[in-house]
Structure 1
Amino acid sequence: MVNLFKLKNFDFQKTGKEVLQIEREGLEQLDQYININFTHSCELIYQCRGKVVIMGMGKSGHIGKKIASTFSSTGTPSFFLHPAEASHGDLGMISKNDILIAISNSGESLEILALIPLLKHRQIPLIAITSHEQSTIASSAHIHLCVKVPQEACSLGLAPTSSTTAALVMGDALAVSLLKARGFTQEDFALSHPGGVLGRKLIMRVEDIMLSGDDLPQIYPNACLREAILEMTSKKMGLIIICNHEKKIEGIFTNSDLRKIFEKNIDINQSNISHFMTLGGISIRPGTLAVEALDTMKKYNITSIIISEHNKLIGLVHMHDIYQAGII
């Protein structure tokens, strides 16, 4: 167990805040490196007909994986390639249309240096992200992006901290700049995130989850109340839609309407549904996002909403269907 008595005089919060301050100062220095080389890098990546391959060893490799992931999810196809594995066959994953981004704080990573002659032979453009402009990797690159920081946040000055943060932020700057240049939209983003809540919110539409056809609770206007009630209760949607033979919506009848009927002791076998329905009904058009349908239901305090086109019944969505789809 940790001897808390020995640690009680150590101020963890003070040290944590010092780390944040050092890293903030490092990022402030990064602004000067968003220069013409940054523009050239973005232009080169924008015009790339293949993929952006990212390399890095150790902590730089972890940063490279995140940057590759960010690129791929924002419209720039990318993947991470471990430089040591590249030397043992995986270099074949790079095609003639690709671009390579090499991340190395020192600019002297031996595993990347070993690949440079082969990259030059294959005429693969190289963008280097290092903190040393005169390093071997930087000097060998077509474009160099400097990410030099005043100091590491590590009190020993050894563990990559501020430097990896700077490299990560430079990668984000590239990715977001390219996103905006491509006119990348929320819908584009959702297509690469179908498994997440955000993706489902942006791509799932009412027709993806609506009831349709024989599953719809519907009946003709000349039906008696008894037939309407049987249809409504069998479909368990809490309402029934009254339509003519051309599927044109004339009205709706809900559970609250049913309660009023029983309170008035009306003969359900002799009474026509059209005399008790509510004209029209709240509806939305097909193509509406499911999350927008949910917002409409909450606005009008209803649990189901009709999908229609030119007042013609197409489907019905219940609030529970939207929740079960994992949108919220």
Structure 2
Amino acid sequence: MTRTGRRGPNTDPLLRPAPRPAPPTERHHQMRVALLGTGTMGAGMARSAQRAGHEVTAWNRTRSKAEPLADDGIGVADSVAAAVDGADVVMTMLFDADAVLDVTRELTGALGPDAVWLQSATVGPEGIARIAQAAGSQQLLDAPMLGTKQPAEQGKLVPLVSGPSALIERAQPVLDAVGAKTIVAGDDLGRASALKLACNAWILSITAATAQSVAIAKGLGVDPALFLQAIEGGASDSPYAQLKGGAMIKGDFTPSFGLDGGRKDLGLIDDAARAGDVDPTLIEAVRALFDGASEAGHGDDDLAAVFTAF
């Protein structure tokens, strides 16, 4: 089932200009939101929720990384409990399952009886199962976000959500604030995380394939920009290939989706493929390329830096 948010038809979330947010009275009542983890994605999500009229409090393990959000009227808490206390919706956007588990006890201890926890980090089905077991909570939704820095800043992510429908409905105002549309993957925790891995397998594979074609063109003495021009507008074109390919040609690896974050996801995808009896040959090859780029010192750069592996 697909639930469409306020922003209209499904066009590419990386390239569309940001529309003027609708006033909260046109959409939903104001909610109190806690955002735990203010990295590349989390900071943008906090700003998008605030811009939509919600009251946002952020927390980050390194407080200094959250403090710039105060300029946008976002509260910055000194502890997980202080951020979560009184929140209607809590979003965790931390690096991995272990990072989420590190805050789970404090989070659930401060979680109000009617609050909803959107677990939005990419942790895979096994990771969300571990988190759910540790939380022991009926207030948890599996809600990873599809998108990168710019869609997070623009409120154009695609939340992939699974769990009880009543919780999804309760959290919908916040999902609408951070996303262009919400994809409901099912009633069971883990379905959304499985879908996120399928999506990221595509994103990471197409990035590596784009790098290969750019490298082949360059290696054979052809302007690699001609490769992007050749596929542009055709059936084989991809906005992501154009975006990342252009960055590769320019050598601009400013992080939008960090390469080491991609490596973490590739590990989850590899494990999930094996668990689902899917041949992992392709994902292992892609993983080796990302490993090589990271070992060469590009772990903190954008995914586009996988180009250096060629």
> TM-score, length-normalised on structure 2?
0.30
Higher CA-based Rg: 1
> TM-score, length-normalised on structure 1?
0.29
- Compare the two structures and name the one with the higher helix fraction: 2
Higher relative contact order (CA 8 A, sep 6+): 2
